[in-house]
């Protein structure tokens, strides 16, 4: 009883104008009464006219409600605090209405100081631009047509009225200038007949912040000036994103089979200029691209279904986070042309080549990339890098050639080593079979697959495949197994042991098939828990490549023919496949650095260490793995129901469906991954 009385007395002291309507705001109650000869006030029958019932209901509700408040003092206090808030809002609204009534909308003295008004007074012909920022406002004021265009710059952070109390809305210094400028009031007192401008045009930057500002303004209009939208007075300025001078353009159709749809031919002396922010434009440019009624584009804001609009604003701009997140997750797939990625909001473990290059390369390029050197790999850096690789591999007879990317390397090497009637043997999950987009077979060579075991090619399965081929009397009519492809690590992050490589190498020698090892992630394989060294690979293969793109370099792969066995026509084939670059030192400079002071292993080792930490942490949390990977790639089994949640927090790679209820996803660390990022990922998962 004491708590209730105290709360009641506090309310009386804080707000003497406390009224019943304040307590009833937002309250919904159902009272069921039964009586004979019911009478109603008015034809709408919204109010019961039997006076005797009021006394009975009042007495019953008062008694029961008092009892409830005595037993639940915290609820009583909450109700009173809510009523106080409603009272403050009511008083603020009253003051705002009084202020609006006192001021004449057409009296220039009452208009906001930042408003640059127009000369015309007839709202049929006038328009006001609501502009993001003083800088853009200055350009708009100078570039406008003063006769009928008014400019009102906004500044500071806009208030989200969907989350704010009414008293904050009524007294907000960002909204008041608009209310005063429009001259029609707002809320229950809004009068469309007093509107000073026929068009209200929102003009903001063409970025995420600009979109947010437009949304905040539309929320305010919908909640407090809805007739503006209902009667088509609100517009969004849409700017041309580029501007050309002295331009003549012709379009030549191209067949549908082509990747392009049109060829654009521009005349000489054409200047193309791009704009994002309003502040980037001078007054003339802003007029030409956005404000000139003869050439501009305005998007009219309309509302077909008020109930649906109300629900949407409450969902996207309201207090409740979960419904908004569900909406975003449900509709994110429909987003197009998104050019802003805020990685700070995500744990990024999608791949190991997303980051740029190790800082060591920055100083190297700064010193050497701009100087003049011979082209096509005939420079001193290429020779130096090749020599360092031969020393590291303990392979003095090796021949080294630098290419730019993994797919390019696989295609050129395989195409060069095979005769026209031969194919390459690989495991069913091998990269050349699954993720090369048909690059190998586009050269005319077929990929011949053998079932994998933990992502790897098994020597016994390989021998059986080749023996079966030659045992077929009609094998001359078939694609010959001409070479063998393996990757280390495999597509599933697993590693060959030295014994497994020796056995595969023996089968290749038995059937005179060159053994080619894809080392796109070789650095992570060499620094993992393994008995295979770079020297072992050089000894047991006929050709392999050392991956740079995924192992700290910006790009580049080093192809190593191990026994002086580079085909004489290899350079010609590189040229034929469009893989030769004139400035060959671009790739060589990186490998020269990678194989100086053991940098290649130093870059890759931490990624493997962090991947193992991630694996062990996930195991402790009860996660299952598709297979055991000792390298920087980890493959976990996740319930399908959890995928939407993970997609909102983690950037990962989809691998394959595990079963009807589960999916295998890949989490990859890289040379740039930090321990803090792994800890964050473990906390998310």
Backbone phi, psi, residue 509, to 5°: -70, -40
278 to 136, 146, 296, 301, 562: CA distances (angstroms): 5, 19, 15, 21, 60
The CA distance from 549 to 404, in Å, is: 8
Count other C-beta atoms under 10 Å from residue 83's C-beta. Answer: 22
Which one of 127, 132, 379, 592 is the catalytic residue?
A: 132
Q: Which tokens belong to 280?
A: 């980037």
For residue 382, pLDDT over 80 is answered with yes
Based on the residue annotation, tell me whether 25 is a catalytic residue of this protein. no
Q: Tell me the H-state helices in 369-481.
A: 380-392, 406-417, 431-434, 459-471
Q: Do 181 and 196 form a contact (C-beta atoms < 8 A)? A: yes
For residue 243, pLDDT over 70 is answered with no
Say which range, 186-200, 345-359, 521-535, 546-560, has the weakest mean pLDDT. 345-359
| Interacting residues of 272 by C-beta distance below 8 A, sequence separation 6+ | 242, 243, 244, 247
- Give the CA radius of gyration of the chain: 36
Based on the residue annotation, tell me whether 205 is a catalytic residue of this protein. yes
Backbone phi, psi, residue 225, to 5°: -140, 45
pLDDT value, residue 611: 94
Q: Which tokens belong to 470?
A: 């030659």
The per-residue DSSP string of 311-371 comes to HHHHHHHSS-HHHHHHHHHHHGGG--S-----GGGSEE-S-SSSS---THHHHHHHHHTTS
pLDDT in tens, 494-510: 999 999 999 999 999 99
Q: What is the mean pLDDT of residues 317-330?
A: 74
pLDDT in tens, 32-50: 888 777 777 665 566 777 7
Bridge partners, residue 422, by sequence = 480
The CA distance from 424 to 416, in Å, is: 12
Say which range, 59-68, 248-257, 409-418, 518-527, has the weakest mean pLDDT. 248-257
3-state SS class at 542: coil
Q: What is the mean pLDDT of residues 299-316?
A: 78
Q: Which tokens belong to 37?
A: 């000869």
Confidence of residue 384 (pLDDT cuts 50, 70, 90): very high
Confidence of residue 534 (pLDDT cuts 50, 70, 90): very high
For residue 540, pLDDT over 50 is answered with yes
The CA distance from 424 to 417, in Å, is: 10
For residue 573, pLDDT over 70 is answered with yes
Taking the alpha carbons at both ends of the chain, their separation in whole angstroms is 49
DSSP 289: I
The CA distance from 275 to 254, in Å, is: 30
625 to 94, 242, 282, 435, 632: CA distances (angstroms): 65, 50, 59, 22, 14
Q: Which tokens belong to 42?
A: 């008015």
Q: Which tokens belong to 190?
A: 């809004």
Longest dimension (CA), the chain: 112
Beta strands in 74-168 (DSSP E): 127-132, 149-154
Q: Do 516 and 483 form a contact (C-beta atoms < 8 A)? A: yes
Which one of 207, 460, 510, 616 is the catalytic residue?
A: 207
DSSP 657: E
Torsion of CA 70, 76, 77, 81, to 10 degrees: -160
Beta pairing class for 650-651 and 347-348: parallel
Q: Do 152 and 174 form a contact (C-beta atoms < 8 A)? A: no
Q: What is the mean pLDDT of residues 503-519?
A: 97
Q: Do 114 and 141 form a contact (C-beta atoms < 8 A)? A: no
pLDDT value, residue 12: 41
* Burial class of residue 620 in the structure, from the number of CB atoms within 10 Å of its CB (0-12 exposed, 13-18 middle, 19+ buried): exposed
| Interacting residues of 632 by C-beta distance below 8 A, sequence separation 6+ | 352, 493, 521, 524, 604, 607, 608, 610, 611, 668, 669, 670
Q: What is the mean pLDDT of residues 97-124?
A: 67
pLDDT value, residue 365: 63
For residue 3, pLDDT over 80 is answered with no
Torsion of CA 134, 135, 137, 142, to 10 degrees: 140
pLDDT in tens, 116-161: 899 999 999 999 998 877 666 778 888 888 999 998 887 666 777 7
The per-residue DSSP string of 28-75 comes to --------SS--BSSTT--SB--HHHHHHHHHHHHHHHHHHHHH-HHH
Between these two residues, 373 and 239, which has the higher pLDDT value?
373
Between these two residues, 449 and 372, which has the higher pLDDT value?
449
Based on the residue annotation, tell me whether 394 is a catalytic residue of this protein. no
Range of 241-245, 342-346, 546-550 with top mean pLDDT: 546-550
Confidence of residue 9 (pLDDT cuts 50, 70, 90): very low
Which one of 21, 63, 191, 209 is the catalytic residue?
A: 209
Between these two residues, 345 and 4, which has the higher pLDDT value?
345
What residue has token string 């029958």?
45
Say which range, 13-22, 161-170, 202-211, 234-243, has the weakest mean pLDDT. 13-22
3-state SS class at 237: strand
pLDDT in tens, 619-659: 999 999 998 999 999 999 999 888 888 887 788 887 788 88
414 to 89, 449, 469, 509: CA distances (angstroms): 76, 15, 20, 17
pLDDT value, residue 44: 57
The CA distance from 86 to 165, in Å, is: 9
Peptide bond into 489 cis (omega under 30): yes
Which one of 117, 205, 436, 542 is the catalytic residue?
A: 205
pLDDT value, residue 274: 55
Q: What is the mean pLDDT of residues 152-176?
A: 72
pLDDT value, residue 584: 83
pLDDT value, residue 8: 44
The CA distance from 429 to 520, in Å, is: 15
Range of 210-214, 343-347, 604-608 with top mean pLDDT: 604-608
Q: Which tokens belong to 185?
A: 């009031």
Q: Which tokens belong to 498?
A: 């030295």
The CA distance from 237 to 357, in Å, is: 41
pLDDT value, residue 357: 83
pLDDT value, residue 334: 58
pLDDT value, residue 94: 64
């Amino acid at each position: 009883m004491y708590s209730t009385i105290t709360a009641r007395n506090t309310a009386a002291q804080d707000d003497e104008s406390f009224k019943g309507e304040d307590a009833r705001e937002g309250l919904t109650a159902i009272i069921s009464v039964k009586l004979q000869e019911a009478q109603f006030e008015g034809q709408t029958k919204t109010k019961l006219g039997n006076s005797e019932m009021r006394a009975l209901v009042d007495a019953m509700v008062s008694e029961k409600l008092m009892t409830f408040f005595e037993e639940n003092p915290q609820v009583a206090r909450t109700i009173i605090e809510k009523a106080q808030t409603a009272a403050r809002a009511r008083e603020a609204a009253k003051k705002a209405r009084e202020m609006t009534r006192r001021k004449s909308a057409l009296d220039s003295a009452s208009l906001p100081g930042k408003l640059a008004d127009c000369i015309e007074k007839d709202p049929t012909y006038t328009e006001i631009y609501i502009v993001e920022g003083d800088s853009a406002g200055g350009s708009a004021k100078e570039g406008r047509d003063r006769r009928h265009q008014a400019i009102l710059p906004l500044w500071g952070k806009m208030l989200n009225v969907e989350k704010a109390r009414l008293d904050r809305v009524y007294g907000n210094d960002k909204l008041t200038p608009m209310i005063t400028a429009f001259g029609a009031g707002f809320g229950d007192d809004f009068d469309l007949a007093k509107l000073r401008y026929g068009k209200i045009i929102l003009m903001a930057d063409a970025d995420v912040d600009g979109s947010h500002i437009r949304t905040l303004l539309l929320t305010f209009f919908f909640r407090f000036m809805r007739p503006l939208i209902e009667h088509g007075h609100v517009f969004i300025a849409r700017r041309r994103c580029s501007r050309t001078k002295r331009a003549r353009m012709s379009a030549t159709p191209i067949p549908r089979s082509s990747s392009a749809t049109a060829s654009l031919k521009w005349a000489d002396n054409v200047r193309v200029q791009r704009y994002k922010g309003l502040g980037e434009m001078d007054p003339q440019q802003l007029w030409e691209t956005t404000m000139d009624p003869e050439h501009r584009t305005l998007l009219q804001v309309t509302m077909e279904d008020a109930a649906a609009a109300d629900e949407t604003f409450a969902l996207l701009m309201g207090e409740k986070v979960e419904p908004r997140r569900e909406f975003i997750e449900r509709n994110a797939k429909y987003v197009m042309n998104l050019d802003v990625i805020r990685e700070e909001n995500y744990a990024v473990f999608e791949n190991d080549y997303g980051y740029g290059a190790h800082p060591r390369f920055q100083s190297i390029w700064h010193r050497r990339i701009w100087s003049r050197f011979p082209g096509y790999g005939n420079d001193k850096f290429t020779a130096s890098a090749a020599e360092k690789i031969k020393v590291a591999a303990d392979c003095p007879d090796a021949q080294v050639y630098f290419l730019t990317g993994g797919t390019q390397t696989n295609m050129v090497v395989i195409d060069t080593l095979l005769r026209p009637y031969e194919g390459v043997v690989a495991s069913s999950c091998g990269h050349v079979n699954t993720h090369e987009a048909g690059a190998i077979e586009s050269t005319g060579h077929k990929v011949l697959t053998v079932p994998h075991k933990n992502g790897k090619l098994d020597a016994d399965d390989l021998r059986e495949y080749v023996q079966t081929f030659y045992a077929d009397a009609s094998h001359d009519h078939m694609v010959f197994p001409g070479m063998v492809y393996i990757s280390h690590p495999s597509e599933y992050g697993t590693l060959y042991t030295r014994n497994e490589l020796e056995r595969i190498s023996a089968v290749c020698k038995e059937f005179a098939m060159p053994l080619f090892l894809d080392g796109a992630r070789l650095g992570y394989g060499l620094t993992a828990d393994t008995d295979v060294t770079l020297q072992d690979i050089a000894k047991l293969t006929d050709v392999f490549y050392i991956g740079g793109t995924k192992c700290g370099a910006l790009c580049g792969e080093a192809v190593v023919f191990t026994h002086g066995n580079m085909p004489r026509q290899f350079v010609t084939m590189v040229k034929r496949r469009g893989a030769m670059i004139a400035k060959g030192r671009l790739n060589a400079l990186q490998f020269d650095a990678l194989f100086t002071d053991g940098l290649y292993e130093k870059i890759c080792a931490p990624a493997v260490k962090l991947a193992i930490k991630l694996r062990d942490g996930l195991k402790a949390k009860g996660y299952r793995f598709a297979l055991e990977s000792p390298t920087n790639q980890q493959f976990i089994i996740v319930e399908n129901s959890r995928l939407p949640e993970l997609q909102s927090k983690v950037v990962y790679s989809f691998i394959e469906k595990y079963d009807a209820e589960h999916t295998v996803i890949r989490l990859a660390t890289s040379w740039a991954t930090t321990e803090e990022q792994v800890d964050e990922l473990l906390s998310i998962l």
